[in-house]
Amino acid sequence: MALSAAFYTSSQPSRALLCRTRRPNFSQTACFQKTLTIRASTTLDYSKLTVGEKSSAPSKSNSWQWKFKENSINIYYEEHEKEKEGPSKNVLMIPTISDVSTVEEWRSVASNLVQQDGNVNWRATIVDWPGLGYSDRPKMDYTADLMEKFLVDFINAPDGPISGSENDFVVFGGGHAATLTIRAVKRGAVKPKAIAAIAPTWAGPLPIVFGRDSSMETRYGLLRGTLRAPAVGWMMYNMLVSNEKSIESQYKSHVYSNPDNVTPGIIESRYALTKQKGARYVPAAFLTGLLDPVQTREEFVGLFAEMGSQKIPVLVLSTEGSPKRSKAEMEALREAEGVSKFVEVPGALLPQEEYPAMVAEELYKFLQAMVAEELYKFLQENF
């Protein structure tokens, strides 16, 4: 597939590429100071590619059994890996939590990444959240705590797809996924080598617009209960979420930045996800704020600040076309402690799918810098 053959190059070299330093340190060199901000640019029009050209088949798809209380839940995941000699390093890619969350949003980035010819072989694992994508969707009380527990169990499972990594893995997360990962790192449940937060968020669609005072929380509870109800719940879900016009409107207004990039194939794919059995339970929680990792912007920024003390490099990819309120939360991370590098790319809430080549390019630069830092430390300690 043509898109996986090469990254787009910037029309001008970024400051990161012009940095000259002996030690590629995330926190101390000019390349990776927390104040560094880069605006990505391109001279090629990626938006002209069709959804078929942006997609790429997984190297391997499988399911993993997540045991949670009395439930045994089939979790869908994909592994992308190019056949190369030598060991591989693992990258876990986690979709943005939404009504129509799916591994599909990361496929092109994964394909781009594993095709790179370098000193390191990268292996990408993309996983669907429980209750979303192609994973099972049992009727449970979905909360931020439950989603974080799933993430921790998936990473640490002896029979999981990234078992044996011994903390030698990187996490790329979109939206809430990045924030939930960082929350798990803060409490010591997981310890990746590095984290990339793509269009990071912390508030669900209704709380970010209407707030979280007691009267609104009561209304959210009523809406959530209605959406979960057997008959009327399906009716309301079909009206609010599970219809092609609603999905198209959302994608064109705030999920993608360029409405022309929203193809019929994307809408058909996402609509099909909303028709799966149990499809309404996670959206009921997400829309009303139950999946929010934190409650305030201060907590959001504070989570990222913790990564500095844990010496975990963090890349934040903000987007030029995000909705106003979401953009404000991303901007709060621009000068935040714990953020090694802040880059702005085209797109809105799903840049990894709308502009995968540009996102992959920034992520690959981040991985290269991480590997260079590891090599420097090894040489310092052994020679």
pLDDT of residue 112: 95
If one compares 27 and 264, the residue with the highest pLDDT of the two is: 264
pLDDT in tens, 252-301: 999 999 999 999 999 999 999 999 999 999 999 999 999 999 999 999 99
pLDDT of residue 56: 56
pLDDT in tens, 180-203: 999 999 999 999 999 999 999 999
Shortest CA distance to 357 belongs to which of 152, 65, 116, 153?
A: 116
pLDDT of residue 379: 82
Domains in the chain: ranges and CATH: 59-208+290-382 (3.40.50.1820)
Shortest CA distance to 32 belongs to which of 342, 266, 283, 282?
A: 342
Distances (CA, A) of 225 to 40, 230, 234: 43, 10, 12
Contact, 251 vs 267, CB < 8 A? Answer: yes
pLDDT of residue 37: 41
Q: Whole-model pTM?
A: 0.85
pLDDT in tens, 245-254: 999 999 999 9
pLDDT of residue 58: 63
pLDDT band at 74 (very low <50, low <70, confident <90, very high): very high
Burial call 104-143: b when 16+ CB within 10 Å, e when fewer: bbbbbbbbbbbbbeeeebbbbbbbbbbbbbbbbbbebebe
pLDDT band at 345 (very low <50, low <70, confident <90, very high): very high
